[in-house]
Amino acid sequence: MNQSSKRQMQTPRNLRADAARVIIAVIDQGQSMGQALPKAQSAYHDGRDKGLLAEICYGVMRQLPQLDTQIRRQLSQPLNGKKRLLHGLLLAGLYQLKHTRVPPHAVVAESVNACVALRAPGLKGLVNGVLRSLERDLDQLKSEQFDAEPVQTLHPGWLLKRLKSAYPDQWTQIVSANNAQPPLWLRNNASQQSREQALQRLAEAGVEARAEGNGDAILLPVPCDVTSLPGFNEGALSVQDLSAQHSAHLLQAQPQERVLDVCAAPGGKTCHILERQPELAEMVAVDLEPRRLERVQQNLDRIGLRATLHAGDASRPEAWWDGQRFDRILLDAPCSATGVIRRNPDSKWLRRDADIAQLAKLQSAILAAIWPLLKPGGTLLYATCSVLPEENVGQIKAFLKDTPDAMLSPIDQQDTVAKPGWQLLPDAQAGDGFYYARLVKQA
């Protein structure tokens, strides 16, 4: 047994210490929550512990500038170097004090105990003193108004500037939706049951649910463990946001067609297309990373669906394409994810302004590379979970201008060549921010 393993066995497991490690991994090391959190959660078997760990970490990411500002006031000098994990611990502690129902004495006690797990027992007094001081001023901290706009809005300055420019009359609503807890949307599997049957089964199980949006969407006002829902493990229900569910409906796949889903992981849209049209000739799903394709296969297996999976670069299809063209293509392009910040609040702090131009360049390259794979008369649906025009309207306008055989297939009356596509903004009571543009290849 190596020394690291021995230390892990000797160090007690502490949920607040694990939260501190995840928080610092994100804000200092650039890891995403999708990378850091599951590793920490794997040490816990109780679903409540996993849920609390996720709530603390995601909550800190939503409230980060305000929490950070209020903690730094309490410190005579920054906690850097080996003490940096203690800063993450204090962020987790203050979030719990301000935004959860965890009793304050439990927050303080568990945070102090976490110092041992973080190998900093000598700093117990510091953690205890800071959190008790914050607890005493809690009412004032909860009502504090911040002068700096990025702190007040919980958004980085570069993103605020872009949102104000693109949506001068709506940016405050977008920011507000981004800061809200996301609703839980389910997708009903129409090949197994009607939405009415799904709602009846949920009602019989005592689960509050209602039909919303398109023909497959179900909203759960009160989040729950989805694996306990009737039919979930058999594929009758899946978790998918309302806005993302529009993909299969807009693509309109028909029997015996060959369909391609580009940048497919984790596979929700792939599965939805197959659920809506089980008589496809072939469903092909491509993603860059083999590990992400494992998630696609897991979703297919749970629902009982089949697809051909390829690991490959979407901008270089010659490495994986068999030469047979497709009737329909869904291109869910890599993007800034600025429409799903409420689900991925860490992205606000991981993304940089310079990333947008790079992403737009990549999207353009993928779109140009994938277009030749579409049959004449075929349909390509371009999608992003972004609200930024550079990745959406601007991208499609440029493509239509540069591609003579590409024609816009309007989604609604506002979808014109002058302003192509359908831009959905995040809504605290509805779907995420999403963009769709439907293109047809002229014969």
User: Three-state secondary structure along 343-377?
Assistant: CCCCHHHHCCHHHHHHHHHHHHHHHHHHHHHEEEE
Task: With cut-offs at 50, 70 and 90, classify the pLDDT of residue 213.
Answer: confident
pLDDT surpassing 70 at residue 10: no
- Per-residue pLDDT reduced to its tens digit, 147-181: 999 999 999 999 999 999 999 999 999 999 999 99
Q: What pLDDT does residue 7 have?
A: 46
> Residue type for 159, please?
L
Give dist(CA 247, CA 270) in Å, integer: 9
119 sits in the region (left: phi over 0; alpha: psi -120 to 50; else beta) called left
For residues 262 and 233, the answer to whether their CB atoms sit within 8 Å is: no
Q: What DSSP character marks residue 313?
A: -
The DSSP bridge pattern shows strands 237-239 and 184-188 to be antiparallel
Q: Provide the β-strand partners of residue 438.
A: 381
Can you say whether the dihedral through the CA atoms of 315, 319, 324, 328 is positive or negative?
A: negative
Q: What pLDDT does residue 43 have?
A: 92
The CA-to-CA distance between both ends of the chain, in Å, stands at 66
Question: Hunting for tokens 């693109």 — which residue is that?
Answer: 166
Q: What pLDDT does residue 5 have?
A: 45
Provide CATH code, domain 242-441: 3.40.50.150
312 is in an annotated binding site: no
**Nearest to 56, CA basis, from 13, 9, 92, 14:** 92
268 is in an annotated binding site: yes
17 is in an annotated binding site: no
Average pLDDT of the segment spanning 63-72: 98
Q: What pLDDT does residue 144 have?
A: 96
pLDDT surpassing 90 at residue 421: yes
**Nearest to 27, CA basis, from 74, 76, 80, 77:** 80
263 is in an annotated binding site: yes
Q: What DSSP character marks residue 310?
A: E
Look up 385 and say whether it is catalytic. Answer: yes
Average pLDDT of the segment spanning 421-441: 96
Give dist(CA 94, CA 354) in Å, integer: 32
Q: Under 8 Å CB-to-CB from 131, ≥6 apart: which residues?
A: 90, 93, 94, 97, 107, 108, 111, 112
pLDDT surpassing 60 at residue 193: yes
Q: What pLDDT does residue 12 have?
A: 58
pLDDT surpassing 70 at residue 4: no
Residue 158: CB atoms within 10 A of its CB come to 15
Average pLDDT of the segment spanning 418-440: 96
Q: Under 8 Å CB-to-CB from 330, ≥6 apart: which residues?
A: 247, 251, 259, 260, 261, 262, 269, 273, 380, 381, 383
Average pLDDT of the segment spanning 6-16: 65
- Per-residue pLDDT reduced to its tens digit, 115-151: 999 999 999 999 999 999 999 999 999 999 999 999 9
**Does the domain formed by 3-144 have CATH 1.10.940.10?**
yes
The DSSP bridge pattern shows strands 406-408 and 237-239 to be unpaired
139 is in an annotated binding site: no
Question: Hunting for tokens 């009412």 — which residue is that?
Answer: 139
166 is in an annotated binding site: no
For residues 401 and 418, the answer to whether their CB atoms sit within 8 Å is: no
Q: Report the share of the chain in percent with pLDDT over 70.
A: 97
236 is in an annotated binding site: no
Lowest mean pLDDT of 34-48, 307-321, 400-414, name the range.
34-48
Residue-averaged pLDDT of the chain: 95
CA angle 361, 358, 332 (to 5 degrees): 65
pLDDT surpassing 90 at residue 242: yes
The residue from 57, 115, 335, 385 that is catalytic is: 385
**Nearest to 373, CA basis, from 417, 420, 314:** 314
In CATH terms, the superfamily for domain 184-239 is Sun protein; domain 3 (3.30.70.1170)
Q: What pLDDT does residue 1 have?
A: 47
Q: Under 8 Å CB-to-CB from 304, ≥6 apart: which residues?
A: 234, 235
Q: Where are the alpha helices (DSSP H) in 118-251?
A: 124-136, 138-143, 149-153, 157-166, 171-178, 195-204, 242-251
224 is in an annotated binding site: no
Token pair for residue 210? 């209602």
**Nearest to 272, CA basis, from 223, 320, 305, 224:** 305
- pTM assigned to the model: 0.93
Task: With cut-offs at 50, 70 and 90, classify the pLDDT of residue 34.
Answer: very high
Give dist(CA 438, CA 284) in Å, integer: 19
For residues 88 and 82, the answer to whether their CB atoms sit within 8 Å is: no
pLDDT surpassing 80 at residue 336: yes
Q: What pLDDT does residue 9 have?
A: 45
Q: Report the share of the chain in percent with pLDDT over 90.
A: 94
CA angle 276, 281, 285 (to 5 degrees): 70
Query: Phi and psi (nearest 5°) for 379?
Result: -120, 135
Question: Domains of the chain: which residue ranges?
Answer: 3-144, 184-239, 242-441
Q: What pLDDT does residue 86 have?
A: 97
Query: Phi and psi (nearest 5°) for 436?
Result: -130, 140
Element (H, E) at 69: helix 47-72
- Per-residue pLDDT reduced to its tens digit, 69-98: 999 999 999 999 999 999 999 999 999 999
Instruction: Please determine whether the domains at 184-239 and 242-441 fall in the same fold group of CATH.
Output: no
Average pLDDT of the segment spanning 258-284: 97
Give dist(CA 77, CA 377) in Å, integer: 65
For residues 177 and 426, the answer to whether their CB atoms sit within 8 Å is: yes
